[in-house]
Structures are given as structure tokens and as C-alpha cells.
Amino acid sequence: MTNSTGNRWSLDRRTFLKGTTAAAAAAAVPGAIAGRGALAQDRASTLAIAAPATPQSLDSEYDVSLGTFETVAACYDSLVEFEKIVDPGDPDALREDIKDYPNNPGRVNMKGKLAESWEVDPDSQWVRFKLREGVKSNWGNELTAEDVVWTWHRKLELGAIGGFFANTISLKRKEQIKAEGSHVVSFNLDHPNPLLLKLQPNLYNPIYDSTQCKAAGGTDDPWAKEFLKNETAGFGPYRIEQLTRGAQAVYKARDDYYGGKPAMDTVILREVPTSANRAQLLQGGAVDIAQYLQPLELVQLANAPGVSVDTIPATFMLWIELNAKIPPFDSIDVRRAMNFAFPQEQVISTVFQNLASPLTGCMPDIYPGFNAAYWEYGTQDLDHARELLKGAGYGDGFETTLGYNAADATQETTAILFQSALREIGVNLQLKKIPAATFYNNVSERKQPMIFYYDSPWCPDPGYSMNLYFHSKSFINYSNYVNLRVDELIDGAAQTGDMDARLAAMDEVQQIVMREAPWVFGVFTNYSMARRSDVRGWTYYTSNNIRFQDFSREA
């Protein structure tokens, strides 16, 4: 599963559909605690965030919206997490250490969170966690192995997003997750799966307080579906205090958090759907962090007094799906021609203000196993594109449609630049603006010949990424790309613990995919954090969200 599929989907949906209603609605909400005035005395320990949307459902089994993950990351803890390092390009920012460590167990550099230690099978067929003792949930219940078992049984039982994750780590039956004592739990697979440990820190896999969930759900709702929509029951550093959808969410730090109370006592997430408005609020000092700003706004804010903008390479990828089931994109040459015609440099400098870099591959370049060598589309080459079209029998060009998300200004501008470039090679591109709310449906229906997609795979692993986008049976393979060799390589890699063999196989997949070009390879967009300069501690996660517990205010 990907985060920003849904993440973005929902962000856009809400951004657009609410238009700009929310700020006003917020103002009319009873007891709204807001911004500076009310909080001046606690300013040092209060974090105000202008976000494009407040959480919809808080249950990550069903909801993939932006605010949901901010909430999950603050209110729940996972068993383990990646170690953090200082970003090589930005001394003010931390990031996860997701490199391949051939000598570490599971080849990852992780540290315990709810688990204080763990053992992992060298073949990655089982893993055993020893849980920390005395950890309390926000409802006061103590963490036991039973909570971990319940959490994964819930995924198997409900079979939505969690079901996907269970399947991804080859977990099929309930008895494969065993409580081996009050604080020991193990996962036992039928065959090796390299992602068994790597997927544990994924934001979709937090541990629930099963005691509270069972009590709240009762017999009618044994998996607490209703309860978890509006409440949190986890072992993380925050609890949700107030949630007014479309207006704001308020989080309070927990005094009894096992890792120590976080620096920011209160976090207010205000919904401000228009990016220009979020930028204004940050500039004026009304909020500490403004999320998801347009490139031009970031450039402008970088020069504003009291504001800092950190921008670092991230896992966000923007590309155009070329639907292999709709002619002429069933032809590899036509797809390659589209890539050679794409005005990438111009898009990066004009649309993204250089806060992006060429999409030199088909997965994030910061993930292990990435290989940029197969990228041929570095410079726009219209002559070559014309030749390819002629060879494919489209010497006179053709007409097609490109769908883009109405809520994303960068997509519209990119589309217009591409349209102009394609006209040069005789391709008449019609643009189709799709309302944000229905955009994702349009992508997943796979009926558009060309459609933008903005996403990042949430697990720093090549097999995971390739499987998502290019396996013919993957739900996320939105370009209808089918290559049996690719399927075979991916299937093989998913069932082996031999990391070197996997990396080799995934390298071959990248080579094939880059040549056959099921996408127009667009850009990696940076993750940009626009914050007041006195807010410190920002950490970049591959999940592209922020975690409140990282922040503190410089005195």
C-alpha cells in the first residue's frame, strides 16, 4: 500500500471540495481554541499547524486521508522504528536511516519502540518481539502481547487496508501470530518474506489497545470499527482531545508516555484548504507550520523574516500513467516517444521552481536497490520522439486526453507545458480537469488514456515498490502494465530472504520498466517544511508526514 495515494487523494479531495469553506466553519465552531490570542501563555509548548485537511476517520484500516496519518503517528506507536540520522543536505533536518545494512539482522538499522528487543530469522521467515513492560495506553491499559495479536487479527478479519499489509508480509492465518508469553509475540510465516520486519514501522501498522477496543465495541462491533473512527486507543505520545472535522483537531501530550512527555504539550491542527492562505498564516506568525505549499509560495516564504523553509529530496513522485490497454499506448515505442517529448527541465524550473528533480527511475531514488542507469529520457528529444511515432505507425500523430487533478495547480501547469511540447510532434493532447473528489476514482478505474498520479511507496524496499506499480495483478498498477517476466521476477523476490538475489531481480525489473515506459517519468518533488524559525527538530519520514513529538521550540 502506498501512503500518498490515498494521502494525496484525500488531501486533494478535501482541499478542493471544501473549497475554502472550512476556515469559516472553524470560526463558527463552539469552543474553538485558536491560534495566538488564546494560547499566548503556553506558546512555548504549543504547536499550531495549518493543514489542508483535518482527519476524516481515524481508523487507518479504512481511511487514507492526510490528517489520519498525522493522528496515527502521534497517538500510536509501532513495535520498532528506523534509526534517525542528520540529513546530509540540511543540518536542520533529521531523516530515517533506510539504507541497506548487510550485516544487521533483517539488514536494517532499527531501534525498538514498543518492542525492547527482537530476534529475526536470517531467512526472514519468522520474527519474535519482546515487548517493553509497563507501557500504558491513553486509556491506562498496559501493553501486552495480546494487543499485538488483536491488532493483526483485526487486519486479517476486516481485510481492507490492513488485509493488504497482512498479505504483503505473507500472513494468511490468525494462528501465525502467536503470544508466547505476556510480553513476547512472534510472527511465523510459511515461507520467507523479506518485508516481515521492514513493514513493522509503517504507519498503517500501529498497535491498538485491545482492552479498550473490545470494551468499547462490545459484542455488536468486536473490532471496534465505530469507536476507532472518532477515538484513538494506542500507546503513542499524544491523545486526541478534540476533533471537529473540517475545522480543527487538538492533541494533548501524554504525561504517562513511556518515552517521556513530548516537548509540545498541545498541538492544534487547523484546516486551511487554500495553500496561499496557509502560506499567509505562517508568514504572519499565526501558525508554526504550514503544510503542502505551492512551489512559488515556498520560494517566496524562504525570504520572509522569521520563517524557515527546509527542502529535501523525498519519496514523492509525480508521473503520468500511460494506459497500456488504450491505443496508442499499447505500443512501447509510442510510450517511449511520450517520454522523449516530455519537457522535464522546463517543468522542474518553471512549475516546481527547482524544488524537484527528474524522475530518473520508477521508485524513490533514496531507497536501497535504486538504479538510475536505465534512465534514457534525460533531455527532451523531439526528433527521436517523431521517429518512434513514425515507426509505430503514428507518423501523423494522434489525439488523446490527459486527466489532471483540479486541486493540484502544478499538474495543470505541467499538463499545459506537455501539451505545447506534444503539439510539436503532431500529438493533440486534450486536457481534462477532474474534480479532486473524483480524481482518485478516475485513476483507479483505469479508463483514462493518460492521467497524472502522485504517490510514494511507503516501505523503503525495491520489491515492495515494484510490486505495487508494475505487477500485473497489483491494485495500484494503474497503467495496466503487463509483462510476464516482470511478474515472475517480483513474485520470486517476494518469497526469498536472499537480499542480494532480490536486489538483482529488482534491478532487472527496473531495466525492463524504464525501457518499456508504462509512465511518463515526471519528477521527484522535494519535501518542503515551511516553519517558523524557532520550531526545531523536524524529521523527514518516508511516509511524508510530520510527527508532533519531534518538535520543540527554541527558547
Touching other proteins, residues 298-327 (CB under 8 A):
300
Between 347 and 505, name the residue whose CB sits nearer to other proteins: 347
**Are the beta carbons of 53 and 26 closer than 8 angstroms?**
no
Secondary structure (3-state) at 337: helix
Which of 498, 461, 489 has the alpha carbon at shortest distance from 121?
A: 498
Between 69 and 367, name the residue whose CB sits nearer to other proteins: 69
Q: How far is the CB of 314 from other proteins (least distance, A)?
A: 22
Binder to other proteins among 12, 63, 77, 461 (CB under 8 A)?
Answer: 63
202-261 residues in contact with other proteins (CB under 8 A) are 245-246
Binder to other proteins among 45, 188, 274, 483 (CB under 8 A)?
Answer: 274
Distances (CA, A) of 261 to 63, 239, 268: 28, 12, 17
Binder to other proteins among 272, 322, 366, 392 (CB under 8 A)?
Answer: 272
Secondary structure (3-state) at 232: coil
- Sequence-distant (6+) residues with CB within 8 A of 232 are 58, 71, 75, 76, 138, 239, 240
339-378 residues in contact with other proteins (CB under 8 A) are 343, 346-347, 349-351
Between 32 and 509, name the residue whose CB sits nearer to other proteins: 32
Helix axes 145-158, 210-217, angle to 10 degrees: 50
- Sequence-distant (6+) residues with CB within 8 A of 356 are 295, 318, 347, 348, 523, 524, 525, 526
Residue 198, interface with other proteins (CB under 8 A)? no
User: Kindly report the CA angle at 316 between 97 and 475, in degrees rounded to 5?
Assistant: 105
Q: How far is the CB of 346 from other proteins (least distance, A)?
A: 4
486-505 residues in contact with other proteins (CB under 8 A) are none
Secondary structure (3-state) at 490: helix
Within 10 angstroms of residue 275's Cβ, the number of other Cβ atoms is: 21
Cell of residue 446, nine digits: 483505469
Between 414 and 496, name the residue whose CB sits nearer to other proteins: 414
Options 104-112, 376-384, 430-438, 491-499: segment touching other proteins (CB under 8 A): 430-438
Binder to other proteins among 195, 197, 282, 406 (CB under 8 A)?
Answer: 406
Which of 326, 313, 321 has the alpha carbon at shortest distance from 364?
A: 313
Count of residues in contact with other proteins, rule CB under 8 A: 81
Q: How far is the CB of 347 from other proteins (least distance, A)?
A: 8
Q: How far is the CB of 495 from other proteins (least distance, A)?
A: 24
Between 21 and 104, name the residue whose CB sits nearer to other proteins: 21
Between 42 and 256, name the residue whose CB sits nearer to other proteins: 42
